[in-house]
């Protein structure tokens, strides 16, 4: 007999059921509708492009992250902590803002082409396959660096000391210490990046397009938005779900490394990496990574600041809509994650419930959106529900991330204080109010900040549903870019970044100000 089997926590079960209904129900709606349609050659090329760009993005992001992580692991310099903290920022940076920044550097009138022209060299285009991969590397390089860096710092310092005592050269250190760690960490990091790039929509929408650079997500959008071909969109959505499901199942075999752990401020003490060449290489790698990651957002700031005095019409209304969507989806996501997390930690069926919580990983913004559109279309004009649907989809898609952040903390609380709470008969809402929420507050604040910032910057399902009147801020930026009003777009992007990071900062700060 184990300890008392625990009671069933019904709110958590209800959340799990709702998640199944949302992901599998929309999939059902999609499959029912997809029956008659058939795939064209263009659709297959979208599948090929999606998988190829995700694979290349994953390889490049992780491959380039290795030298950066190694340099950061073994060097101390002023601003090192800040740089590592900044590595967490692209995850929260709205995609459309990053694209705008990349265009300012690599675009037709960007810095790079200006320089090439001045030298009399031919200009390069950022659109197409390499543009999509470039943007994905921009987003995922820092994520991969953080994962690999935490792997580096998990190698006990004593082993490096032993290697130095034995007089091992750099080659031997790599073979005996670093390669085993990399072999354990790299596959997980690669799958994580691959998964993220598989559902890429906003990057493909802005930098891809055309028959040679269309992701499945983008193809779904085009089928719905321009052709209003529900059958074809449904078929593509089914295909996208299958792609993601296969990748998620593959990821389930691997342990995904963490990227949000603490303790990354500590450099690894090394005794044999201080040759002048190694120093120079590390300095170059760090400088290159910093420039690559800081220059695009810096350009958005530089180009956006002058436009702040003359903000485009409708900006504040769009900003208000974005904040509303972010607040709604954050509240929804965290209440659901909390209910589900408590049920997983305390009650029965915890494995099933946890699997239900991970289900949205196999869904994507456009698949959920298509399913909801198919379900809503006969009943109501979908455009009228653009904001609630966006909030719902954002909440569902962010739930696995929130759950992964909350679960370890919930388990700690249960281990340390669960028995006392049981002994005092502290159950239900009272337990939540007097035990769980106060103890969880730092993690809850951070998770809420992440979810809110992701939702603020989301450019996915909203593009599908919103008509001219109901744009959110990222959609407004995208439309301004489409109209080649780059200065106005940069100014709006600046407001968007300020709001995203502001909302993250507020929520994280609320969490950190927890009573001791």
Residues in contact with another protein by CB under 8 A are: 1-5, 416-417, 419-420, 422-427, 430-431, 434-435, 438-439, 514-516
The minimum distance between CB 513 and another protein, in angstroms, equals: 13
Q: What angle do CA 347, 348, 352 make, to 5 degrees?
A: 115
Q: How many other β-carbons are positioned within 10 Å of the β-carbon of residue 155?
A: 15
The minimum distance between CB 434 and another protein, in angstroms, equals: 6
The minimum distance between CB 439 and another protein, in angstroms, equals: 6
Among all chains, which residue has been given the structure tokens 């180009």? 303
Of residues 10 and 44, the one with the C-beta less far from another protein: 10
SS3 76: coil
Of residues 48 and 419, the one with the C-beta less far from another protein: 419
Spatial contact of 464 and 225, defined as CB atoms under 8 Å apart: yes
Q: How far apart are CA 340 and CA 40, in angstroms?
A: 41
Of residues 279 and 411, the one with the C-beta less far from another protein: 411
Q: How far apart are CA 495 and CA 173, in angstroms?
A: 48
The minimum distance between CB 49 and another protein, in angstroms, equals: 52
Q: How far apart are the first and last CA of the chain?
A: 37
The minimum distance between CB 351 and another protein, in angstroms, equals: 20
| CA diameter of the chain | 79
Of residues 250 and 424, the one with the C-beta less far from another protein: 424
Of residues 275 and 438, the one with the C-beta less far from another protein: 438
Q: Looking at the DSSP assignment, which residues form a beta bridge with residue 213?
A: 209
Of residues 154 and 422, the one with the C-beta less far from another protein: 422
Of residues 294 and 426, the one with the C-beta less far from another protein: 426
Of residues 2 and 313, the one with the C-beta less far from another protein: 2
Rounded to the nearest 5°, which phi and psi values hold at 75?
A: -115, 145
Q: Running DSSP on this structure, what letter comes out for residue 385?
A: G
The minimum distance between CB 423 and another protein, in angstroms, equals: 5
Of residues 234 and 436, the one with the C-beta less far from another protein: 436
Of residues 277 and 429, the one with the C-beta less far from another protein: 429
If phi over 0 gives left and psi between -120 and 50 gives alpha, with beta otherwise, what is residue 167? left
Of residues 155 and 514, the one with the C-beta less far from another protein: 514
The minimum distance between CB 361 and another protein, in angstroms, equals: 33
The minimum distance between CB 95 and another protein, in angstroms, equals: 38
Spatial contact of 312 and 488, defined as CB atoms under 8 Å apart: yes
Element (H, E) at 46: helix 41-74
All residues at 6 or more sequence positions from 90 whose CB lies less than 8 Å from its CB, including other chains: 98, 138, 139, 142, 143, 293
Residue in 216, 99, 185, 213 with CA at minimum distance from that of residue 478: 99
Q: How far apart are CA 423 and CA 265, in angstroms?
A: 41
Q: How far apart are CA 121 and CA 278, in angstroms?
A: 33
The minimum distance between CB 4 and another protein, in angstroms, equals: 6
The minimum distance between CB 436 and another protein, in angstroms, equals: 11
Q: How far apart are CA 272 and CA 91, in angstroms?
A: 34
Q: What angle do CA 263, 268, 270 make, to 5 degrees?
A: 170
Spatial contact of 315 and 476, defined as CB atoms under 8 Å apart: yes
Q: How far apart are CA 330 and CA 322, in angstroms?
A: 12
The minimum distance between CB 97 and another protein, in angstroms, equals: 38
Q: How far apart are CA 358 and CA 248, in angstroms?
A: 9
């Amino acid at each position: 007999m184990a300890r008392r089997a625990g009671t069933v926590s019904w709110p958590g079960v209800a959340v799990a059921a709702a998640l199944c209904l949302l992901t599998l129900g929309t999939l059902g709606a999609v499959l029912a509708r997809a029956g008659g349609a058939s795939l064209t050659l263009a659709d297959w090329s979208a599948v090929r492009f999606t998988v190829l760009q995700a694979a290349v993005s994953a390889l490049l992001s992780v491959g380039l992250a290795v030298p950066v992580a190694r340099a950061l692991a073994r060097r101390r310099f002023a601003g090192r902590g800040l740089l590592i903290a900044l590595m967490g920022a692209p995850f929260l940076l709205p995609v459309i803002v990053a694209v705008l920044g990349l265009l300012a550097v690599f675009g037709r009138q960007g810095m790079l082409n200006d320089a090439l022209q001045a030298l009399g060299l031919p200009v390069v285009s950022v659109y197409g396959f390499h543009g999509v991969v470039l943007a994905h590397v921009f987003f995922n390089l820092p994520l991969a660096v953080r994962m690999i860096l935490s792997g580096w710092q998990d190698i006990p310092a004593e082993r490096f000391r032993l290697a130095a005592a034995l007089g091992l050269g750099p080659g031997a250190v790599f073979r005996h210490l670093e390669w085993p760690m990399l072999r354990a960490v790299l596959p997980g990091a690669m799958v994580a990046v691959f998964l993220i790039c598989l559902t890429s929509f906003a990057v493909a929408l802005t930098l891809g397009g055309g028959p040679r650079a269309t992701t499945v997500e983008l193809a779904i959008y085009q089928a719905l938005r321009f052709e209003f071909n529900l059958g074809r969109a449904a078929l593509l959505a089914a295909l996208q779900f299958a792609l993601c499901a296969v990748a998620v199942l593959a990821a389930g075999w691997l342990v995904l490394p963490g990227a949000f752990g603490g303790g990354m401020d500590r450099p690894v003490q090394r005794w044999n990496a201080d040759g002048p060449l190694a120093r120079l290489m590390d300095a170059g790698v760090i400088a290159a990574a910093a420039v690559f990651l800081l220059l695009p957002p810096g350009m958005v700031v530089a180009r956006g600041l002058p436009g702040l005095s003359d903000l485009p019409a409708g900006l504040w209304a769009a900003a208000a809509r974005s904040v509303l969507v972010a607040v709604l989806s954050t509240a929804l996501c965290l209440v659901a994650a909390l209910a589900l997390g408590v049920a997983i930690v305390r009650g029965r069926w915890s494995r099933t419930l946890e699997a239900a919580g991970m289900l949205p990983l196999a869904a994507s913004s456009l698949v959920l959106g298509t399913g909801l559109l198919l379900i809503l279309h006969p009943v109501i004009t979908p455009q009228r529900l653009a904001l609630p649907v966006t909030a719902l989809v954002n909440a569902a898609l962010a739930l696995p991330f929130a759950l992964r952040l909350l679960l370890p903390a919930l388990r700690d609380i249960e281990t340390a204080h669960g028995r006392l709470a049981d002994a005092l008969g502290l159950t239900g809402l009272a337990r939540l109010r007097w035990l769980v929420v106060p103890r969880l507050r730092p993690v809850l604040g951070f998770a809420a900040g992440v979810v809110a910032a992701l939702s603020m910057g989301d450019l996915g399902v909203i593009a599908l549903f919103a008509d001219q009147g109901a744009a959110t801020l990222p959609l407004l930026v995208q439309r301004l870019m489409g109209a080649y009003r780059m200065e106005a777009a940069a100014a709006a992007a600046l407001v968007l970044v300020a709001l995203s990071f502001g909302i993250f900062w507020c929520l994280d700060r609320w969490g950190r100000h927890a009573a001791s």
